[in-house]
Structure 1
Amino acid sequence: MKQLLILGCLFISLGLIGQSEEETEIKNTINSFFSSFHAQDSVGMTSVVSKNVVLQTIGANKQRQQVLRQENFNDLIHAITSIPDSIKFEEKLLDYSIQVDGPMANAWTPYEFWLNNTFSHCGVNSFQLFKQEGQWKIIYLIDTRRREGCANQP
């Protein structure tokens, strides 16, 4: 009986280690995306997303109504790589909440966005990822953007 209990604990701990490794791989994929984002590296950004990646954002329009906008990944790449060297930008991820079910994962990452060392806005990224041929790829990214209710709001 004692051996059965020890064996059961071993299997449970192995399951937790495997899950932790998956979460680490997912976090590394997201970190790689943002490292490339900050370096304005289009090749690096493209390497961690699916060729059919879907991008959306939720934020207020000029009338202060919340709207959902579809974005094109190539437009994002062009916008990021076109930022002049005189402008410093940084998206700081504040936390990760990752859920995995086999080859599918979701990562929820609250963030702050800084422009020239000045707080700009905050929100949450929600990543959907797919593990294909041993590699986690971002297949869907939606974010929220707001200026109110942020921890570092002036």
Structure 2
Amino acid sequence: MASSAPTKTPSKDQGRPAQRQTTTSLPDEVQILNVVNKFLGCINKKDRFTMLSLVLTSGAATLIRRGAPVHLSLEAVVNRIPVDSKVDMDEQIYNSTVHVDGELGVAWTPYVFYEDGRLNHTGTNIFNLWKMKDRGWVITGIADIAREVDDKAFDAFGEKEAWEKAQEPKDEQSAGGKA
């Protein structure tokens, strides 16, 4: 993938040798995937603070769950991470595609999501990013679709009740769950 980002290394007249590439000297596509991977890595670490530093909190997310969209701010998405949970959560992306147009970037990232080492669900994320002058690439929007593996999917996010309710016949739901 081509990048228009110039390589920045200290010059000899600055009195110090070049050490390693800075974040800004990496191609934009690599920088974007670094942000996405850092964000997803924070799920397992349950590190909301770092996650918030990687997003515009007023940005938007659309999560497709059981065929229905859930619209949230990115701050609300981050706050869904169950920091007190002992469940090991690991979202792994693969075959990612990144496109960049100046300060606008998008990453298409199919994924698998594991809980305590067991496959929980699969899906695809679409991350929209903006390259800010003072912060670098930040996530401004997320679209996510998740496909359940079984009835235990989404337990880590406290959605088991909603899943069970969705499995009830429609007439039971309208009657308050009583047949």
Please, what TM-score do these two structures have when normalized by structure 1? 0.75
Contact 1:108 1:127 (8 Å CA) reproduced: yes
Q: In percent, how many aligned pairs have the same letter? A: 24
Name the residue aligned to 2:43.
Answer: 37
- 1:124-151 CA deviation, whole Å, 9 max, x = no partner? 0000101111500100001001136xxx
Question: 1:34 is aligned with what amino acid?
Answer: L
Q: Which amino acid aligns with 1:122?
A: T
Deviation above 2 Å: which 4+ runs of structure 1? 15-20, 71-79
Deviations 1:11-61, CA, capped at 9 Å, x for gaps: xxxx9353770101101111111122221111110111013221111131x
Q: Distance in 2 between matches of 1:97 and 1:78?
A: 27
Give the corresponding residue for 1:68.
69
CA distance in 1, matches of 2:139, 2:42: 14
1:50 corresponds to which letter in structure 2? L
Asked if 1:18 is matched to 2:4, the reply is: yes
Stretches of structure 2 lacking an aligned partner (at least 5 in a row): 6-25, 150-179
Other structure's SS at 1:145 match: strand
Q: Structure 2 CA distance, aligned partners of 1:54 and 1:17?
A: 27
Match for 1:49 among 55, 69, 94?
55
Whichever of the two has the greater Rg, that structure is 2
C-alpha change, 1:147 and 1:84, in structure 2 (3 Å) is closer
Alignment coverage as a number of residue pairs: 128
Give, in angstroms, the shift of residue 96 of structure 1: 1.1
The aligned residue for residue 106 of structure 1 is: 106
Q: CA deviation at 1:81?
A: 4.0
Contact in 2 for aligned 1:111/1:123 (Cα 8 Å) = yes
SS in 2 for 1:44: helix
Relative to its length, the structure with more helix (as a share) is 1
C-alpha separation in 1, matches of 2:125 and 2:80: 18
**1:91 alignment partner in structure 2:** 91
When the two structures are superposed, what TM-score results if normalisation uses the length of structure 2? 0.65
Larger RCO (CA within 8 A; separation ≥ 6)? 1
Q: Which has the higher strand share?
A: 1
Partner AA of 2:45 in structure 1:
A
Pair 1:79 & 2:85 matched:
no
| AA partner of residue 85 (structure 2) | P
